[in-house]
Amino acid sequence: MIEQGQTLPAATLSELTSEGMQTLSTEALFADKKVVLFAVPGAFTPTCSNAHLPEFITLADKITAKGVDAIYCVSVNDAFVMKAWGEAHNAEHIRMLADGDASFTTALGLDKDTAGFGGVRSKRYAMIVENQTVTGLFVEQDKEFVVSRAEAVLEKL
């Protein structure tokens, strides 16, 4: 599992924008920026939709006021699902990034097998990334939702 002080692995994520499908490298997404990244096991799932994403939406202004350049949400879903999920929650201040094949999640060592639920998914976590280096990492234990909450991350900025 990636640790605080380590550089993010080279990988690509997808984003569906008004210009169409974009394939983005982690270098392009994280170089020369301070980013809060949070990951969820699945778009449109209960805790993710009812608490995790909405809290980051609500606190986006306070997070960016702490010198954060961008907030990214990533899930092992496709870019079409991530775009629809973001639109359903009015997440205009959060980039909704897809890790459709779980390659980024697996490279981080933050993958989990949910078997009948959906196969390989991401653990629930949040991280602070400065110029591609992880400066804060907050990984939830299974079935918990404490350390990756927007409020908890805001306290660490």
**Where in the sequence numbering do the catalytic residues fall?**
48
**Amino acid identity of 109?**
G
Please state, as a whole number, how many other Cβ atoms lie within 10 Å of the Cβ of residue 85: 23
The alpha carbon of 105 is separated from its chain's Cα centroid by a whole number of angstroms, namely: 10
> To the nearest 10°, the Cα dihedral for 55, 57, 61, 66?
60
Instruction: Measure the CA–CA gap between 49 and 27, rounded to whole angstroms.
Output: 28
